[in-house]
Amino acid sequence: MAWLKAHSITLLCATALTPQTALAQSVNTAQEQNSSTGPEASQEAETGLGDIVVTATRREAKLQDVPIAVTAVTGDTLAAADVSTVRSLTQVVPGFIGSRNMGVFQPVVRGVGSTGISIGDEPNIATYVDGVYQPESAANWIDLVEVERVEVLRGPQGTTFGRNATGGLINVITPDPSFDFRGKASLRVGRMRRDAGDYDARVYFTGPLSENAAADFAALFRKNDGYIDDLVRGGTLGNQRVIDLRSKLLFEPTDNFKVVLTGEYFNQESTTNSPQPLDGNTAGRRFPGVILPTDAWQASLTKDPTLDLKRYSAALHTKLDLGSVALDTTTGYMLLRWKQDTDSDASNLQLGNFLADFNVESISQEIKLNSANPGPFQWLLGGYFYQFGGNSFLQPWTAANPTLPLAGPTLEPELEGRSFAGFGEGTYEVTPGLFFTVGARYTTETRNFTQRINGNVVVNDAEETFNKFNYKLGVRYEITDNTSVYATYSTAFKSGVFNMAAASATAVDPENISAAEFGIKSDPLDWLRTNLSIYYYDYQDLQLQAKDAIGPSYILQNAANAEIYGGEFEVFVRPVADLTLRSAVAYTHARYQDFPDAQGFFPRADGGNDVVTFDASDNVMTRAPEWSGNVGFDWGHDIGNGRITFAGNLSWSSRVYYDFANLFSQPSYTLINGSVSWTPESERFKIGLWVTNLTNEKVLQTVRPGALSTDGFYEQPRKIGISIETKL
């Protein structure tokens, strides 16, 4: 991938030297970082809910003025709800499911979400960190070390964000370095079942380097002991160790020019890919000597699994104020090394194993020019470039019975891709309080694929190009100063992709979505905020992935269409200065339409599944619960020479299906997290007690039906611990 390294150096240097020629977005400008960012922040009065400034439309705007369904959650709220990773946003964002398949993060919003694991098969819920697109599913295990806020946009974002934002996006915003020195350090220690330890240490500090430069540094060490009983060798599995180091350098040579350089290193070692057969459904039942788990958090595997990941990333942001317009640029670079070794039959007998080694490198660059003066017409224009290259080594091996050695093909796919896009959006205030918005984006994308099987080239540099025009139409009307309504119609698409586990020179078709949405945003009282959104999606040519009929590998196919409609209702309340309440509920009606060639897995009496093509039309879409929601609170009270604070969060979901036939599912569940902390009057430190999954609920992160088994992974059991945080 030398070509990508050369491009990376060239583009990074070009951005630093000539910002007018680089590409960008303004998601993380210094002004944005200093904005109020959550329903319990930015208070205009002691008992009121102040304005929340977000960047959901690629420019600063009040949350209540943005004609998009977006949930903005502050770092304090994330900590109170024990949301430490992007995947666990499930607990505070309505309509969001943080699913995973082994080491691959597969978010779902309103029933829209990818199931692919191939290189270049990017999620259709896009993830951004400080304006930088995060392309690879396996790389998106983002730990929230020092976060100002997280914005989750529900619905297609096919114009201004564009890239693979078919169903929405996750926008993580961290603070820029400060010219005032500050810092903090924290330590959490907890215990799970089998006395498994859970440790989390974090440090953050920032300060000036000169009158024009400042820097910060964030570090995370997270470790948990194994909490999954190893029924074969004794001991436990499920252990994980994470190291995350991140630093920013801010340089402001003049009043109208700013540069922010970011570097990050992420390293994970774990055995969390320890599947267990659900209801004992594994092909291992056909043979003597099989050991079957009988409860959650148990595993019976042939050998210890491996799920290791290293990620190196860098970003360069510039902002140039030209008076009536502003020029923003963003360059992003990522290098990913990922390895997994997973038992495919989820039993102690040697029937199937999936060894995978991935190497991916990518670069993205964006430029955005937008209006900077107030007026009835606000606009932005931009361009975007993205390029990736990667290769894999795959061994999806099986055996007819446990007396035979595992055997099968060795796959060595190589994939490359490049994408160019131009976009624009304008909003015009026709009369006071009445706004019309028009946006458009044109994308051209080319992908290349080479496949070697057992060392022989079977697909030689297959190439396909996809072109697409997407648009958005919107109207917003301010009924009063505190209430507005909006309606939008928008389209988005995800490019066609090659399946790295196949020998096909033909990519699956792109998927397309057309969405209509209506919403009301209202602050009827200074201490009450209510937001309602309803939507309808026409979702075509879904890209869906399922286990292969004859082994542990995967197939990728297009479903015909899907119909999705529903809505969300959010309420934020601050009736008194010491109490903040929030709640949300989401309804999702998601059904496949015209899906006659679905891959179905039907349990066999002797274990494993028969694989049958069937008609899944009218079935519930996978990972799309009909009802979900959350309730949270934060209450503080002065006591003695300090302040005591209680915080809690309850999230719930109705049944979640994980297969096209609606046979395998996670039943309805409720998760409860809570904490109590005390801070002295000096506010120099804080000590606390915390608990997650209070009721020890057994919640599946995913279910994977296949020919050899139907297996799954459970969320962590109840954890109880203590914490201490101090200011530096």
Please count the residues of the chain: 728
Q: Can you read off the two tokens belonging to residue 258?
A: 């700013």
The CA–CA distances, whole Å, from 414 to 34, 503, 544 equal 43, 12, 21
Q: What is the C-alpha to C-alpha distance for residues 246 and 146, in angstroms, rounded to an integer?
A: 10
pLDDT digit string, tens, across residues 570-582: 999 999 989 999 9
Q: What is the C-alpha to C-alpha distance for residues 706 and 189, in angstroms, rounded to an integer?
A: 38
pLDDT digit string, tens, across residues 440-465: 999 999 999 999 999 999 999 999 99
More confident residue, 526 or 589: 589
pLDDT above 80: residue 555:
no
pLDDT at 553: 66
Q: How confident is the model at residue 501 (pLDDT cuts 50, 70, 90)?
A: confident
Mean pLDDT across 546-555: 70
Domain 2-323+342-727 indexed as CATH 2.40.170.20? yes
pLDDT above 80: residue 13:
no
Q: What is the C-alpha to C-alpha distance for residues 110 and 167, in angstroms, rounded to an integer?
A: 7
- From 8-12, 103-107, 207-211, 666-670, the region with the lowest mean pLDDT: 8-12
Q: What is the C-alpha to C-alpha distance for residues 651 and 642, in angstroms, rounded to an integer?
A: 30
pLDDT at 541: 92
User: Which pTM value belongs to this model?
Assistant: 0.89
Query: Where would I find the H helices in 38-161?
Result: 75-80
Mean pLDDT across 195-216: 96
Average pLDDT, the chain: 89
pLDDT at 57: 81
Mean pLDDT across 25-46: 36
| Three-class SS of 144-172 | CCCCCEEEEEECCCCCCCCCCCCCEEEEE
pLDDT at 197: 96
Please list, residue by residue across 513-527, b when 16 or more beta carbons sit within 10 angstroms of its beta carbon and e when fewer do.
bbbbbebebbbeeeb
Token pair 């964002």 in the structure block, residue: 93
pLDDT above 50: residue 588:
yes
Q: Are 199 and 236 in contact (CB under 8 A)?
A: no
pLDDT digit string, tens, across residues 264-314: 999 999 999 999 999 999 999 999 999 999 999 999 999 999 999 999 999
Percent of the chain at pLDDT exceeding 90: 73
Q: What is the C-alpha to C-alpha distance for residues 645 and 647, in angstroms, rounded to an integer?
A: 7
Q: How confident is the model at residue 552 (pLDDT cuts 50, 70, 90)?
A: low
DSSP string for residues in 208-276 = ESSSSEEEEEEEEEEEE---EEETTTSSEE--EEEEEEEEEEEEEEETTEEEEEEEEEEEEEE-----E
The CA–CA distances, whole Å, from 534 to 79, 110, 519, 706 equal 29, 11, 6, 36
Q: Please, what is the Cα angle at 256 between 42 and 35, to 5 degrees?
A: 10
CA 279 to chain centroid: 30
pLDDT digit string, tens, across residues 43-89: 333 456 777 778 878 888 888 888 999 988 877 777 767 777 888 88
- From 86-95, 451-460, 533-542, 676-685, the region with the lowest mean pLDDT: 86-95
